[in-house]
Amino acid sequence: MRIHQIDLPVSDVAATVAYFRDELQLPVEGSAVRIGWSTLQLLPAGSNPVGGVHLAFNVPANRFEAATDWLKARATLQRDLKGHDHFTFDGRWDSESIYFTGPDGLILELIARRRLPAGERQGEFHGSEMTCISEVGLPAEHVDEVQANAQSAFGLAPLSQPTPHFAPLGDDEGLLIVVDATRRWFPEQKVLPNARGIHVVLHDVVPGAVVEDDALGWHLRSA
């Protein structure tokens, strides 16, 4: 699965554009940020709350160490309750991650998935090496119901064994992270998930399908 586009409500479009362009070295056109094959379209939040939104960006596994050094010069890494700021996930995840905070309290992540192709660059990392938006967090009052709807509509399978509070649906290139609306985001476990006003367009799944949560305000469709 590929996340083609996310419409993200923000409190200050110009400031958020500047952050992604100047701090994360990503190309922008107007209020659209390009992350590899994905587009992050920034929109005025209006009445939508901001904060608590989770997005992850893939980086090549062989560039993860360089990406970590690059990010540390630009942001403070989030830590878990034990003080760790670098996380290795085995099993079906087979990945490494670091987390940081973006504008409006975005919970952002750089993740290196070892099954994906290596990068060609060497030396200092550049933001343009991010290959895609690979995760978007979706709060749910009933994780199992959203999981069943997304699996049926889009033909997705869980990446790892779902629980009543957490279901990662998709693959290394794109994941819907369905979480209980009362489960605070890893690693700091301070912020509740939010996706109100977010619209997501998916590719490489069953086309022409829609899954949405009117109560929590997010919308998915496939093209």
Structural domains of the chain in order of their starting residue, each with its CATH number: 2-222 (3.10.180.10)
pLDDT value of position 203: 99
| Edge-to-edge strand list for the sheet holding 28-29 | 28-29, 32-35, 38-44, 2-10, 199-203, 218-222, 210-213
The confidence score (pLDDT) of residue 156 equals 98
pLDDT reported for residue 34? 99
In this prediction, residue 61 carries a pLDDT of 98
Instruction: Please report the pLDDT score of residue 9 as a whole number.
Output: 99
Cβ(112)–Cβ(67) under 8 Å?
yes
Determine the pLDDT at residue 106.
98
| Token code pair at residue 172 | 């290394």
What type of residue sits at position 205?
Answer: V
Strands 54-59 and 107-113: parallel
- Residues 6 or more apart in contact with residue 202 via CB below 8 angstroms: 1, 2, 3, 4, 154, 174, 220, 221, 222, 223
pLDDT, position 121:
94
Q: What is the pLDDT of residue 123?
A: 97
pLDDT tens, N- to C-terminus, the chain (223 residues): 999 999 999 999 999 999 999 999 999 999 999 999 999 999 999 999 999 999 999 999 999 999 999 999 999 999 999 999 999 999 999 999 999 999 999 999 999 999 999 999 999 999 999 999 999 999 999 999 999 999 999 999 999 999 999 999 999 999 999 999 999 999 999 999 999 999 999 999 999 999 999 999 999 999 9
Strand partners of residue 163:
166
Predicted local distance difference test score (pLDDT) of residue 223: 97
pLDDT recorded at residue 45: 98
| 8 Å CB contact between 31 and 42 | yes
pLDDT at 187: 98
Assessment of whether the complete model's pTM goes beyond 0.95: yes
| Predicted pLDDT at 212 | 98
**Residue-level pLDDT at 205:** 99
Which two structure tokens, joined as six digits, stand for 191? 């912020």
CA distance readout (Å), 211 to 8, 141, 179, 220: 17, 14, 15, 5
pLDDT at 16: 99
